[in-house]
Chains A and B, each alone.
Chain A
Amino acid sequence: MGYKLSPLAFDYYLKALRNTYRIFAPVLQKGKGKFAGTDVISYGEINSLDDIMLDRKSYFSPKEVLYPIRETLFYFLNDETKAPAINVKPILILVRPCDLNGIGKLDRVFLNNGQEVDFYYARRRELIKFAMIECVEGFDTCFCVSMDSNVANNYDMAVRFDEDNITVKVVDKSLITKDLTHADTAIFEPAFIQENKVKVTIPEVDLVTKKTFDHELWEEYTSRCIACGRCNTSCITCSCYTMQDIKLSDDKKIGERRRVWAGCHIDGFTNMAGGHNFRKKNGEKMRFKTMHKINDFYKRFNEHMCVGCGRCDDVCPEYISFSKCINKLNAIVREETLHE
């Protein structure tokens, strides 16, 4: 069912929803950009339409709403453990289709990856509903169409933000409040972006060989990448984490265990006992990430991990473009295949 709302009516609708849901959306964090006098857009809880930032892409993805940066798994006291309670008020997140697809990748990792379901992810994920932001223009660095993630259908509600009004399509009936039933009905099917400025061609999965691994391309990234980790922290699909045991007593028997985001470009990633580190050079880290996003993940789940949101391009202080890397890799793989 579709409804057309004035901005004011939409605010009343949000207000009604907030009785049941905590609503998250891209929010402008004033003065919180890393450079002086700059803002950053990240996901935060909203109260009204004015809080929602749609003009620019969010710097950080919505993943932190359903997969906290730091999460205490349990507290321990001698042999006893206790998982902390979480806020169980349901959540409604406003996301673009790429991110909605990206969350699908997180679901694969945490919910459909072997026999065990991740308890912590699952209990939060169950609380979440999605209001998909119609996205037909995208931004300069987006390449969702190439990654087949421009279209998403698993939303509970879709929203079109026009200058003068907001149109919503409600799939999940529980999201219909009396504010909607009083509003004008409308026929509304969200449209999806059909072409990005940036296009990538993924090298065919099976054609990536050991030779591709040893290619000098990765040396270029060794000289350019500074391994700051921003590509990992801004990515909607990066889901690696590490563990921390925080001991609060001298005998180390009281404390908490938490998991914390980690990333292949972040110092200490997969370090082993004795200080062993598999990927010392930054080009090797870049290769690892690239392969995971457009090769390895596919082998396991039959779909690519990267959704082409382009945030890694947006945030890289060294202006490394992941889409360019994919295309370069594709050219190399084609070259290698031709010469075999």
Chain B
Amino acid sequence: MGINGKIVTKNAYRITKTRNKTALRIRVPGGYIKVKHFTLIQSIAEEYGDGTVHITTRQGFEIPHIDFDKIAQINKKIRPLIESLGLDIEVTDYGYPAAGTRNISACVGSRICPQANNDTTKIARKIERTIYPNDFHFKVAITGCPNDCIKAHMQDFGIICTTDPQYDANRCISCKACVKNCKKNVTGALEMNNFNVKRDAEKCIGCGECILKCPIGAWSRGETPYYRMVIMGRTGKKNPRIAMPFIKWSSEDVVVGVIKNTYAFVGRHIDRSLPKEHIGYIVDRVGYQVFKQEVMEGLKLNKKIQIAENIQWHGYYYKQDNQFKSI
């Protein structure tokens, strides 16, 4: 059997360890899917696969054990799933148009979670529409608050939803609930000063805990939602590392614009002699300053935004792992 690996992979089917069998990856941006699609996923798994799905780490579905020669048939059938993404492109009978940019994952967000500062599902779907289809291997995740349940810190682009807390001294009863909680569980950005709460804007990460803890509504959410973006986190066999803060107090337009602009950045700088090169390594190679300059170009920055002067990523190199000795 002859298979063009590049073509099937781009079509969201992967080469598996079982000869002649493939697996289809279903995108579920934000991990949000109407259950009516389950019957289609079920029927494909039962008819063409082995009746199972794997729930992927990025919140999609992977239907394994499919014969390569069934791809054309399956592609016709999954049209409703692709249509459900609400993309601006025309949906065809030829299946997913790209697989490089991975499913955009998100925590459950403010539709369910009390901690969440924003509707992560909505943002995930918006970003999906902005950057998909695309072949570059990007990992994007959105988390509703700095608890970061979706592990935005392990992504190329991690978006953390924040709020700019507003304090109404006339409602404050000086109970210190916000101050104590911030000190214990967050950054200690709040302190009492003459029976009022003083907020250190430098320390505040916009998690919204003060609003949640306040029993009298002295703290409330600002009108505009803000975002913190952490970048170039990764796993992998070379240098796993946590993503680092790139921008704080950003508007939605800027975070989306940065991701969009990064595709052009990668297009200019990717090492095409390699089968693939992850963005993090490209940024390492060309340098943060070049990255920053290029991805920020043309973006209309909101007034409150702060951008990192420099970023020092940590993590470690497997090859320098010399702390171990055999017993």
B157 to chain A, nearest CB (A): 21
Cβ A69 vs Cβ B216 within 8 A: yes
Closest Cβ of chain A to B53, distance in Å, is 32
- Interface size of A in residues (CB-CB distance below 8 Å): 26
CB distance from B124 to the nearest CB of A (A): 15
B221 and A268 within 8 A (CB): no
CB-based nearest A residue for B172? A70
The answer, yes or no, to whether B223 is at the interface (CB within 8 Å) is yes
Query: Could you count the A-B residue pairs with CB atoms below 8 Å apart for me: how many are there?
Result: 78
B197-225 interface (Cβ within 8 A of A): 208, 211-217, 220-221, 223, 225
Q: Which of B94-130 contact A (CB under 8 A)?
A: 110, 114, 116-119
| Chain A positions within 8 Å of B174 at CB level | 244, 260
A226-243 at interface with B (beta carbon < 8 Å) = 228-230, 232-233
A34 and B173 within 8 A (CB): no
Task: Select which of A37, A68, A267 is within 8 A of B110 by beta carbon.
Answer: A37
Contact B116 A36 (CB under 8 A): yes
Instruction: Give the residues in chain B near A36, CB-CB below 8 Å.
Output: 110, 116-119, 144, 161, 163, 208, 221, 225
Residues from chain B with Cβ under 8 Å of A68 in the complex: 170
Closest to A68 in B: B170
Q: Is the CB of B217 within 8 A of A40?
A: yes
Q: What is the CA–CA distance of A247 and B170 in the complex, to the nearest angstrom?
A: 17
B176 sits at the interface (CB 8 A):
yes
Do B177 and A42 touch (CB < 8 A)? Answer: no
Q: Please tell me if the beta carbons of A246 and B194 are within 8 angstroms of each other in the complex.
A: yes
Q: Which of A32, A70, A261, A262 has a CB less than 8 Å from the CB of B217?
A: A32
CB A57 to nearest CB in B, in angstroms, measures 15
Residue from the set A35, A60, A229 with the largest chain B CB neighbour count within 10 Å: A35
Let me know if B319 is at the binding interface, CB within 8 A.
Answer: no
The reply on A266 being an interface residue by CB < 8 A is yes
Chain A residues near B144 (CB, 8 Å)?
36
Query: When chains A and B are docked, how far (Å) is the Cα of A228 from the Cα of B114?
Result: 16
The answer to whether A31 has its CB under 8 Å from any CB of chain B is yes
Residues of B within 8 A of A (CB-CB), count: 33
* A31 CA to B169 CA, complexed, in Å: 19
The residue on B at minimum CB distance from A265 is B215
How far apart are A338's CB and chain B's nearest CB, in angstroms? 39
Give chain B nearest CB distance to A234 CB in angstroms: 8
Residues 93 to 107 of chain A near chain B (Cβ within 8 Å): none
Asked if A34 and B170 make an inter-chain contact with CB atoms under 8 angstroms apart, the answer reads: no
Chain B stretch 145-189: residues in CB contact (< 8 A) with chain A: 161, 163, 169-177, 180
Q: In this complex, what residue of A is CB-closest to B216?
A: A233
In the assembled complex, the Cα of A232 lies from the Cα of B175 at a distance in Å of 12
The answer to whether the Cβ of B195 comes within 8 Å of any Cβ in the partner chain is yes
Contacts of A246 in B (CB 8 A): 194-195
Verify A266–B173 contact, CB threshold 8 A: yes
Please, which residues of chain B bring their CB within 8 A of the CB of A261? Answer: 173, 216
Smallest CB–CB gap between A64 and chain B, Å?
8
**Complex: A227 Cα to B211 Cα, angstroms:** 16
Q: How far is the CA of A68 from the CA of B169 in the complex (A)?
A: 12
CB proximity of A248 to chain B, nearest CB, Å: 8
Task: For A30, give the chain B residue with the smallest CB separation.
Answer: B223
Question: Given the known A-B contacts A31-B221, A40-B217, are A233 and B173 also in contact in the complex, defined by CB atoms under 8 Å?
Answer: yes
A225 to B95, CA, bound (A): 54
Let me know if B177 and A267 touch, CB within 8 A: yes
Contact A233 B215, CB 8 Å, known A70-B173, A244-B174, A261-B173: yes
Instruction: Indicate if the CB atoms of B173 and A260 lie closer than 8 Å.
Output: yes
Inter-subunit contact A229/B119 (CB<8 Å): no
**Within the complex, which residue of A60, A244, A247, A267 is in contact with B175, where a contact is CB–CB below 8 Å?**
A267
Given A246-B194, A246-B195; A228-B221 close (CB under 8 Å): no
- A191, B213: Cα distance in complex, Å: 39
A-B complex: 4 closest residue pairs judged by Cβ atoms:
A36-B110, A229-B215, A233-B216, A230-B215
13 more contacts with CB within 8 A, not counting A34-B114, A229-B216, A261-B173, are: A31-B221, A32-B221, A34-B211, A34-B212, A34-B214, A35-B212, A36-B144, A70-B169, A70-B171, A70-B172, A70-B173, A246-B195, A262-B173
A: residues with CB less than 8 A from B are: 31-32, 34-37, 40, 42, 60, 68-70, 228-230, 232-233, 244, 246-247, 260-262, 266-268
A-B contact pairs, 16 of them (CB 8 A): A32-B217, A34-B220, A36-B119, A36-B161, A36-B208, A60-B217, A69-B216, A70-B170, A229-B215, A246-B195, A260-B172, A261-B173, A262-B173, A266-B175, A266-B215, A268-B176
